[in-house]
Amino acid sequence: MRHHHRHHVHHSRRLVERWLLDPGWPLREVGAFAHHLLSAVEGIVPLLAGVALTAAAALALTRAIQSRRLPHEAQPVRIGVPPE
């Protein structure tokens, strides 16, 4: 357990030293990080897009059906106004 803690401290020190010596390195690494992230999720993105598209279509269809049904089932309301 102590060995793991020492490794973490050593790794943290290396990151701090690297940042102090070259403060701009995280910004230069953003492109590589984005590339790795996109390559990791490229198999999931089409599935998520399909689910989102299906949910949007279902929501649009539900709203369209409700908007057509509401005027036919609506009951007119008469408000009585006493004569003056």
Question: Is 82 part of a structural domain of the chain?
Answer: no
Is residue 60 included in any domain, yes or no? yes
pLDDT in tens, the chain (84 residues): 455 556 666 778 888 888 788 888 778 888 888 999 888 888 898 899 999 999 999 999 998 888 777 666 667 677 777 776
Nearest Cα to 26, choosing from 39, 15, 42, 13?
15
pLDDT score of 70: 63
Q: How many domains does the chain contain in total?
A: 2
**Does 1 map to a domain?**
yes
CB 19, CB 27: distance < 8 Å: no
Does residue 84 sit within a domain?
Answer: no
Q: 9 is in which domain, residue-wise?
A: 1-31
The DSSP secondary-structure symbol of 74 reads P
Residues 25 and 2 in one domain: yes
Task: Report the distance separating Cα 9 and Cα 11, nearest Å.
Answer: 5
Residue 47: inside a domain? yes
Model pLDDT, residue 3? 56
